[in-house]
Amino acid sequence: MAVHRSPTPPFARGGAIPNIMFYVYILKSKKDKKLYIGYTGNLRSRYAEHKNGLVEATKNRRPIDIVYYEAYGKKESAQEREKQLKKFGSSYKGLIK
């Protein structure tokens, strides 16, 4: 009779503990020089979506570059920071400089 065990997470065997981060980012359009603010749990993947025209808000403003980002350990913190940056209107341009 075979014994079935549940898989042990890698960090329980001495491996790395998963590091989950959330990011607030600012993109700048090379086409119209406008900025876009967003947040995500996977910055590389989200940036690729923007670059490939899969995000409605930026697909007609390509090419775009990431000009700024911040990392947070909690999703709620990233969401709050995104709201703050959007609330301040054009004052976040100071971050870029």
DSSP one-letter code for 88: T
Residues in the chain where the model's pLDDT stays below 50 = 1, 3, 6
Provide the 3-class DSSP secondary structure of residue 75.
Answer: helix
Q: How many other C-beta atoms can be found within 10 angstroms of the C-beta atom of residue 79?
A: 14
Domain-located, residue 7: no
In a domain, 17, yes or no: no
pTM of the model: 0.75
In this structure, which amino acid lies at residue 72? Y
The answer to whether residue 92 is domain-embedded is yes
| Residue 88 confidence (pLDDT) | 79
**In this predicted structure, what is the pLDDT of residue 39?**
96
- How confident is the model at residue 50, as a pLDDT? 97
Evaluate whether residue 59 is within a structural domain: yes
Range of the domain at 46: 28-96
pLDDT value at residue 97: 62
Residue 87, domain member (yes or no): yes
Q: Per-residue b/e over 7-16, b at no fewer than 16 CB within 10 Å?
A: eeeeeeeeee
Residue 86 lies in a domain: yes
CB 18 within 8 A of CB 41: no
pLDDT at 14: 59
Q: Domains in the chain: how many in total?
A: 1
